[in-house]
Amino acid sequence: MRLIKQKKKQRSSFLLKIAVLALMGSVVIALVNQQIQISRKAQELDNIEQQIRVQDVENDQLRKILEDESGQDSDYMERYARENLGYAKAGERVFITYEGN
């Protein structure tokens, strides 16, 4: 009778150890998976921040070009809109003349 109790106790102890080991293994796997995801997202963030820096430099260059074209941005943009895009101020009339040779 004692022998049967000892075998049952050993068997339940063995199953408990396996269950604890499986639980610890799944926790380790989950932590490793999370670390992989974190490193991927950090790389994505670095790439996006690099794109933002490149775009900021490009924007600064375009602002400089606009400022160099005319002393003031608004004058240059207004002239460009009138001459190239056909815009007019509110209340203005635009006349288009077609001159022949």
The predicted-structure confidence for 26-81, as pLDDT tens digits, reads as follows: 999 999 999 999 999 999 999 999 999 999 999 988 888 777 755 556 777 788 88
Contact present, 81 and 70 (Cβ < 8 Å): no
- pLDDT top residue among 35 and 3: 35
List the chain domain ranges. Answer: 2-70
pTM: 0.49
CA distance 22 to 29: 10
97, two tokens:
């003349």
Confidence label for 1 from pLDDT (cuts 50, 70 and 90): low
53 burial class (0-12, 13-18, 19+ CB within 10 angstroms)?
exposed
* Farthest CA pair distance, the chain: 123
Write down the pLDDT at residue 31: 97
Contact present, 87 and 94 (Cβ < 8 Å): no
Write down the pLDDT at residue 87: 84
Write down the pLDDT at residue 71: 55
Write down the pLDDT at residue 49: 96
Write down the pLDDT at residue 63: 82
